[in-house]
Amino acid sequence: MKTPLLSMKNGLTAAMLLLTGIASAQQWQVTGNGGITPANYAGTVDPRPFFLRTNGASSNPGQAILNEAGSFIVDAVNNSNVAKVKGSIVNGISNVLGSQAGSSLVSGWENDLSNGGGANIIGGQANVVMNNAGKSVALGWKNIIRNSNQFALGVGIDLKDVYSGGFGIDLAATGNRSFVIGSGTGSAKLTNNIPLSIMFGLSPTATMLIKDKSVGILTLNPTATFHTVGTVRFESLPTGSGNALVVDASGNIMVSTTPLSKMATSDETIQALEDRIKNLENTVEELKQLLLNNGTSTSLTSSDVAQLSQNVPNPTRNGTSISYYLPDNAKTASIEVYNISGQLVKSLPLREKGNGSIKLSGSDLPSGTYVYKMTTDGKVTGSKKMVIRD
């Protein structure tokens, strides 16, 4: 009798211990749990991943994993991502993180950080981080990070030296702290290999480079604050006054120390050229007449008709000479000079018969355009235009 009672006592003792253990164990409730501590958690006690799933009974459940290394993975295709490091967050398809790529954020498809360093932010498809590079950003498609502290935003950007960056398509930066913005072509990248510079362009040839407080247009070696190679066009500029811009032999543009004076308009320039051509034509005609007379006579004419010649030189600054021919039978003759308003400003009587001339000094008339005519015995013999300059 004593033996059965002892056995019952021992059984009751074991049952009580089991119930006590069950009562003290954490019971996880889907409606929430309290009293969670580092020693009282949901997870695994061995190096195996902890799976969170939705629709777990289906063939393709939604899945997130706190993997055996300690990175959190949200799969777009279940079990396709690999993270061999602690502390990273990965979501997408077939992304790979190596053992040094800790504390990184990776989102997208087929991004390769198998040889990458830590603290990278990668998004998009087929971006690659190499050479244990860390603290970099690559967003887009097929960008390559080869060194630390780089950023690539776009497609096909290849960054080599530290602190470099690119924004665009088919770009490369190989210089320390070099940046490139724009687009190359599929077969050739727009490449900035100049340290401490920013390059812009839309082809493999750069359009603009900013370097050390200088801006170069179509040159990679600016030697001035603004250095351009090629044409420069200004349109719809405001009017004003001031000093002129001058260009030296090296192409440097500077402000002239001499203030601008009145410049001839295009119409005035054309008129001056036309006057000069007319003057040359008159001179040639006079020389022709001398040659026809076998060079033995200095007469402007052999007729008995009064004639007036173009003043020489014309235009003039320091003085000019007006030649004429006055026949012997002429009784009265004169040359009158009129300004462009039609006012008579000078009348010169002619007393010498035959070939003669009168001279006007630079002080006789102010600068301007004049018309002079010859009158013989009350009849106008001819008229010419004369230009006096400052």
User: Which pLDDT score, from 0 to 100, does residue 291 have?
Assistant: 61
- Read off the pLDDT of each residue in 324-330 and give the average, rounded to a whole number: 89
- Read off the pLDDT of each residue in 131-137 and give the average, rounded to a whole number: 97
Decide if pLDDT at 2 tops 60.
Answer: no
User: Which pLDDT score, from 0 to 100, does residue 19 have?
Assistant: 44
Highest mean pLDDT among 199-203, 239-243, 361-365: 199-203
Q: How confident is the model at residue 232 (pLDDT cuts 50, 70, 90)?
A: confident
Decide if pLDDT at 256 tops 80.
Answer: no
- For the stretch 54-86, pLDDT in tens is 998 898 999 999 999 999 999 999 999 999 999
- Read off the pLDDT of each residue in 293-319 and give the average, rounded to a whole number: 71
Q: Rounded to whole angstroms, how far apart are CA atoms 369 and 303? A: 31
- Read off the pLDDT of each residue in 346-375 and give the average, rounded to a whole number: 88
User: Which pLDDT score, from 0 to 100, does residue 283 have?
Assistant: 65
Question: 334 and 350 in contact (C-beta within 8 Å)?
Answer: yes
* 56-70 b/e (C-beta count within 10 Å ≥ 16 → b): eeeeeeebebbbebe
Residue, of 118 and 299, whose pLDDT is higher? 118
- For the stretch 181-223, pLDDT in tens is 999 998 899 999 999 999 999 999 999 999 988 999 999 999 8
User: Which pLDDT score, from 0 to 100, does residue 285 have?
Assistant: 64
% of the chain beyond a pLDDT of 90: 46
User: Which pLDDT score, from 0 to 100, does residue 77 have?
Assistant: 95
Q: Rounded to whole angstroms, how far apart are CA atoms 243 and 245? A: 7
Decide if pLDDT at 112 tops 80.
Answer: yes
pTM above 0.85? no
Q: How confident is the model at residue 295 (pLDDT cuts 50, 70, 90)?
A: very low
Q: Rounded to whole angstroms, how far apart are CA atoms 378 and 386? A: 22
Supply 55's token pair: 């629709």
- For the stretch 8-56, pLDDT in tens is 445 444 444 444 444 444 566 767 777 777 777 778 888 899 999 999 8
Q: How confident is the model at residue 292 (pLDDT cuts 50, 70, 90)?
A: low
Q: Rounded to whole angstroms, how far apart are CA atoms 305 and 285? A: 17
Tell me how far the alpha carbon of residue 133 is from its chain's centroid.
32
Question: 166 and 184 in contact (C-beta within 8 Å)?
Answer: no
Picking from 156, 146, 97, the residue whose alpha carbon sits closest to that of residue 136 is 146
Q: How confident is the model at residue 336 (pLDDT cuts 50, 70, 90)?
A: very high
Q: How many residues does the chain have?
A: 390
Q: How confident is the model at residue 299 (pLDDT cuts 50, 70, 90)?
A: very low
Judged by DSSP in three states, 211 sits in strand
Residue, of 14 and 274, whose pLDDT is higher? 274
- Read off the pLDDT of each residue in 166-184 and give the average, rounded to a whole number: 95
Supply 270's token pair: 């054309």
Decide if pLDDT at 7 tops 70.
Answer: no
Decide if pLDDT at 107 tops 60.
Answer: yes
Decide if pLDDT at 120 tops 80.
Answer: yes
Average pLDDT for the chain: 84
- Read off the pLDDT of each residue in 365-378 and give the average, rounded to a whole number: 89
